[in-house]
Structure 1
Amino acid sequence: MIKREAFGLISNLRGFMAFSKINLSAVSSYPYGLIKQDGRGKVHNINFVESRSSAPSSGNPSRLRRSLNQNGLPRRIDDGSAIAHAVAPPSQFFHGSRVLLEDEVGLNLLKGFGEPPGIPSRQKYEKMVVAVDVDEVLGSFLSALNKFITDHYGLDHEVSEYYVYEFYRIWNCSRAEADMRVHEFYNSLSFRIGIDPIPGSQAVLRNLSTFCDLSVVTSRQNVIKANTIDWIEKHYPGMFKEIQFGNHFALNGKSRPKSEICRSLGARVLIDDNPRYALECAEAGIKVLLFNYHNSYPWCKDGYVDSHSLITKVYSWEEVEQHLISWAAAAWK
């Protein structure tokens, strides 16, 4: 517990905002530290950020919005480059007369909404790092793409006919032609607003974010990075710590394997619908929840992944939640 005298130090910090007037705003980071000593004699540093202004930032508001995670703390996007910090509302950092550390914030959120069964009291609390795919895991990409192809090329396919993610095999055209059609879709209104979230994903991810560090790991291309981030922040605001792009199947630029991205994040689990990525990451020692929503993804039914001990098939977001609660509880014992 921080002693009451510590608050006198806060008032003397040059340029620090009055707590009653703090608004979320872009800042230049000038960290100041306080020292907290717990009952076991362990010392914690508590950092604050000085803001040059309490007025709303004149910069790009979407850039600022995308720089924060669900606890109001800075998040990296893709390349890990430095981005604007922000001062969070005081209620996120202050509870009664004490300052909450980031992990304590997560702990109180979890306890406030009811702790999932099997999750122990976490004095030695460490969040599980989980990587989450986008297409067919967070959003119904294929359904929107198929409708676009039907409207523009007169093809009549059901989503159940997509037994592989190599679209030229489904559309009976060359690979180059298929790539061109997909990029036409990327430039369309259907791509920007026509992809719906997978049912159950939003509620489950809100729960998971209280005891998991969630990051997006997608094979999507760099050319659709901005639209992808906008879509994620619209439907999953503040839930993801990082957003990483593999740039697979791109017309330009280098690609990164999902296993490499997951290792760089320290991810223990990947949630993905693609058996090839599932096997790649499992071979790298990462647990995989192979997502096949209501058993409706024909490309997800390849039998060669069934025997791998690190790959578990799931058919709903509720099943995802059950497995992650179980694994987190086992890790904290």
Structure 2
Amino acid sequence: MRIGIDLDGTIADNFDLLVQTFNEYCGKSLQGKDIKQYSLCKTYNITEEEFNRLMDKKEEGIIMSSPLIPFAREKINQLVKEGWEVHIITARHPKYRDITENWLQNKGVPYSGLHLLNSHDKLELCRELKVRCMIEDNVHNAYQLADGGVNVILFEAPHNKCWPWQGIRCRSWLEIYQYIVNQWHS
């Protein structure tokens, strides 16, 4: 059985680093709980070009400095031991493949496939891989995937708490693992 897992915000806990980076750039003092939408351009009232320029300078450092989401490594390892094939499906640019692979290896996160799409459109790949379920924190991605027939677990984050979601919403990797085991016990 195959499972798809987003990387940033579901395995890599980079949210606070992003908020800190954009606070410094914009001269603001927002906290993670203040972020109510996924788009930092809208949150910080900056253009896509400004966002991209800042990320070109800072993203590699954010990737390398990101801690793990609590229990992600342990529960992903447990899923792999139980026969799940893990595909990490991320909107990261492919130019970050090497540092992403190094980060995953250093953190002890196993995977069968690493897919850096440079796009938030993950539906076609999820269908192609025939993933049983996708774990995602971007509610817009979750809507698209669910509308396309993919089972989605929305990993709760400040930027998706206020959005309506009719599917499964989990607050931790302990909950995610328990749901998967209960739903698709092999």
Whole-angstrom CA distance in 2 between matches of 1:138 and 1:280: 21
1:274·1:300 contact (CA, 8 Å) conserved in 2? no
Name which of 121, 141, 148 aligns with 1:284. Answer: 148
2:3 matches 1:139? no
Deviating more after overlay: 178-187 vs 130-139: 178-187
* 1:300 to partner: Cα distance: 4.1
* 1:280 to partner: Cα distance: 1.3
Whole-angstrom CA distance in 2 between matches of 1:267 and 1:328: 12
2:92 matches 1:220? yes
Identity, % of aligned positions: 19
- Secondary structure of the residue aligned to 1:216 is strand
2:101 matches 1:229? yes
More helix by share: 2
- Secondary structure of the residue aligned to 1:247 is coil
Whole-angstrom CA distance in 2 between matches of 1:149 and 1:274: 18
RMSD: 1.8
Alignment: residue pair count: 185
Change (3 A) 1:216 1:181: same
1:171·1:178 contact (CA, 8 Å) conserved in 2? no
* 1:175 to partner: Cα distance: 2.1
* Residue matched to 1:174: 47
1:273·1:300 contact (CA, 8 Å) conserved in 2? no
* Residue matched to 1:198: 69
* 1:233 to partner: Cα distance: 1.6
Measured against aligned partners, the alpha-carbon deviations of 1:4-46 in whole angstroms (never above 9, x if no partner) come to xxxxxxxxxxxxxxxxxxxxxxxxxxxxxxxxxxxxxxxxxxx
Which protein shows a greater Rg? Answer: 1
1:133·1:217 contact (CA, 8 Å) conserved in 2? yes
Amino acid at match of 1:301: C
Whole-angstrom CA distance in 2 between matches of 1:192 and 1:168: 19
* 1:201 to partner: Cα distance: 0.9
2:116 matches 1:260? no
* 1:323 to partner: Cα distance: 1.0
* 1:173 to partner: Cα distance: 2.0
Whole-angstrom CA distance in 1 between matches of 2:5 and 2:158: 17
* 1:243 to partner: Cα distance: 0.3
* Residue matched to 1:297: 158
1:274·1:299 contact (CA, 8 Å) conserved in 2? yes
Query: Where do 1:22-33 residues align within 5 Å?
Result: none
* Residue matched to 1:22: none
2:38 matches 1:165? yes
- Secondary structure of the residue aligned to 1:231 is helix
* 1:152 to partner: Cα distance: 5.0
1:272·1:278 contact (CA, 8 Å) conserved in 2? yes
- Secondary structure of the residue aligned to 1:243 is strand
2:36·2:159 contact (CA, 8 Å) conserved in 1? yes
Whole-angstrom CA distance in 1 between matches of 2:43 and 2:112: 36
* Residue matched to 1:328: 184
Whole-angstrom CA distance in 2 between matches of 1:172 and 1:257: 24
Whole-angstrom CA distance in 2 between matches of 1:152 and 1:169: 14
1:290·1:312 contact (CA, 8 Å) conserved in 2? yes
* 1:181 to partner: Cα distance: 1.3
2:5·2:87 contact (CA, 8 Å) conserved in 1? yes
* Residue matched to 1:241: 112
- Secondary structure of the residue aligned to 2:81 is coil
The one of the two structures with greater contact order (alpha-carbon pairs below 8 A, sep at least 6) is 2
Whole-angstrom CA distance in 2 between matches of 1:168 and 1:285: 29
Change (3 A) 1:209 1:301: farther
